[in-house]
Each structure stands twice: as structure tokens, then as C-alpha cells.
Structure 1
Amino acid sequence: MERKSLDQPDETRKFEGLGWADIVTVGGKAVARGHFQPGWRWSVNVKPIAGTELCEVSHLIYCLEGTMRVTMKDGSVHEVTKGDAVAVPPGHDAEVIGHDACVMVDFGEIGEYALRHL
């Protein structure tokens, strides 16, 4: 058995303002707890790091706090809020809506999320 706490992450990845992700690796898989402040938007705060037009990461998330709007490449729009478990495929933008921070735990393919690729 392997156990780690997101309160003592292996790594913290800062976004380009308004948030960060605490990451642990357990069982060979990355697990992240993302903290997204009001006003955070992937296309503003992570796109410069990722270097892609849209987020190309597959997420499997559980929302602990707040609300996030996800806009898919096909134009469909979905809201994720406290208590939701959601699978988000690659090809999306996302933004915090409302005045509260959004906190999510991500069990998806996030090992490379918010890593600068040169």
C-alpha cells in the first residue's frame, strides 16, 4: 500500500496567476488538487504554460468547492459544482464562475498538466 497526503504534495505547479495544483504520485499515477481563484480561466492562466489552443488533458474530477464552467471544442457548455464527479475529455477551455474559489481533485491523466513544454 502507498499513501500520500495532498496537504504535503510531492510538487506544486503554479498557474500564470489565480491558482495552483498540488500533486502527489501514488501507485505510479498522479493525483492533483487544483485551487482555482475567482477569475481563473484555462485559456488565460494555463494556456501560456501548456502551449496548446485548448486543454488537451483528460480529467476525472471531483469538485470539493465552487463552480467551474467547461466549454468543449464543439461549443457545448457544462457547469461543474460542489459534489459533482465528472469526466472531461481533451479539447476544452474552463473558467471559474462566481465569487468563490473552485477546488477539485483530479484523478485523470494529469501527470503533464500545467508543465511548461519548451
Structure 2
Amino acid sequence: MSKDKNPRRVADNEAMAKVRMLRTSPQKLNLVAAMIRGKKVERALTELAFDKKRISDDVRKCLQSAIANAENNHNLDVDELVVAEAYVGKNLTMKRGRPRARGRFGKIVKPFSELTIKVRQVEEQA
């Protein structure tokens, strides 16, 4: 008597990868995520490899994980994959501070964010 299999959270032609606790603000991460939305997977990987932003390496790792999930878990063709969705969410915020002049306290916030990437298999038209 085993439990029923969990239903898939994405469609049959999709795969997903999620990264939590990325040490950057969601606003900065969304700039990199917007750069790859809707592009073919190999094009997105090359753009992330040559991007100068620090967080683009973590986004590239997440995209590679989504590609590996599509290939190994869902038997999708890697050459036909497109970044269907790439969205960013807030996570926790560390609050730090620094003493300032006249007994004041300078607030320093260190935000974390999370990234979800979905890749979809799209057949090319002739």
C-alpha cells in the first residue's frame, strides 16, 4: 500500500528548476532573468556565461539544472527547449546596522531572493 504519485506541477512538455536563498536583491536578479526569458536554451546559456553581473553564474546553474531535469526526468529533447518562464521572488532579509554620528543607527538590509526557471519543448516549424 503505497501512496499515490504526486501530480506534476508543470505540463508534460515542461521542466522546472528552483533556487532558493540567492544572496542578491530580487530587483537585480530580475534584470538577469528578464535577459533570458523566451530565448532558446543554448542562446541563454551563452549570454549568461558572458554576462558581467555576479549573479549570472547562479542563474546559469539554475538553467542547467532545469535542462538536466527536462532531459533525465521528463525525456525532453534538449535542442528544442526554450526558456518559457523565469521569475523571481523575495526571500528573507537579514537586518544589520552600523552606528552613525549623534547616536543614530544606520540600517543595512541584506536581501535574499529565489529564482524559478521553467523550460518548455517547442517543435521548430519548417
- Structure (1 or 2) with the greater strand fraction: 1
Q: Normalised by the size of structure 2, how large is the TM-score?
A: 0.26
- Structure (1 or 2) with the greater helix fraction: 2
In terms of Rg, which structure is larger?
A: 2
Q: Normalised by the size of structure 1, how large is the TM-score?
A: 0.27
